[in-house]
Amino acid sequence: MKKMIMILLAAMMIVGLSACAQNKEEEKKEEPAAPDEPAEQAEPVKVPEELLGSYHDEIAGRAMLELLENKIVIDWSSSAFEKAHFDFDIVYDAEKNQLTYENGKQTNTVFESDTKSTVSEVYNDGTGYFEIADGKLIWHDDKSEGAEPIVFVLNDTESVPDMANPWTYTADIEEAVKGSSVEFDPPISVPEGFELTKYGYNINGIIEANYESEDRKLTVRKSDVYEGLELSGDYNSYSKNWQHSLKGLEVDLYGDGETINMALFGNNVAHYSVTVSDKEYKKTEGNGITIDELNSLVMGMQ
């Protein structure tokens, strides 16, 4: 009997020990796992300090760019009364030697007077990049697909005052000719509804005549130096690009295929551009001029 009691006690002890071990194992399993150590995030590569600063576009000097450590801001004046503003948060890709951006923003400002202006948002989802080459920034913008990249040059202390405002506007055609050093006879006939508002001249050798209708703008430019998009300053994308023979010259036309928003032509002596747009640049394609109106406008112009 005594032996039987000893056996039972031993069995109970074994069961008790097993239960304790099982309980401890379950408690161990129920313990929350230790949180993972946060992964170390690589710090963004900084833009080389020698690239930081103020730039201007290489051709007309109408666009001013400011490169900061993590942002690019561009102000582009199409005239004394209109300005486009671009704001890009950038990331420096050292391997590709590029400054890339997403969610870029563009707003346009139209100055109705010294104290009154209207600001409108054009987009807030811009993407693209700035290629860095020989100290210059070459802008490849996805919103301007098909247009030529724009080159920005770093300002130096001597050129900044001149480049800040290369355009002057006047009602005197002789002043514009003298200031630009470009001989220019403005159009004799313009499309119905347009009236001359002012002449403009650029210190880099461009002269222009500006016209306005109730809801559109028309600009005619001439240069002995610049041609094509560099002369027009119009880097918009158009659905149609076609050619037309005008006064014995091949003219490149841009628009919707029926109306013309930009015409580029010239010869070995001089180059011309004709551009038509909405006053506030909210809509460009579809509000151009006809081929007959272009023919009448160019006839007699030198």
Neighbours of 60 (CB within 10 A): 22
Query: Looking at the chain, which residues constitute the CATH 2.40.128 domain(s)?
Result: 49-162
Write down the pLDDT at residue 43.
63
Write down the pLDDT at residue 163.
40
Strand partners, 83: 77, 109
Write down the pLDDT at residue 113.
52
pLDDT digits (tens, 9 = 90+) for 212-270: 999 899 999 999 888 887 788 776 778 889 998 887 788 999 999 999 999 999 888 89
State the average pLDDT over residues 176-194.
Answer: 92
Which CATH fold would you assign to the domain 49-162?
Lipocalin (2.40.128)
Write down the pLDDT at residue 100.
95
pLDDT digits (tens, 9 = 90+) for 127-165: 999 999 988 999 999 988 767 889 999 886 444 444 445
pTM: 0.53
For residue 74, give Cα distances in angstroms to 87, 107, 108, 257.
7, 11, 12, 31
Strand partners, 153: 56
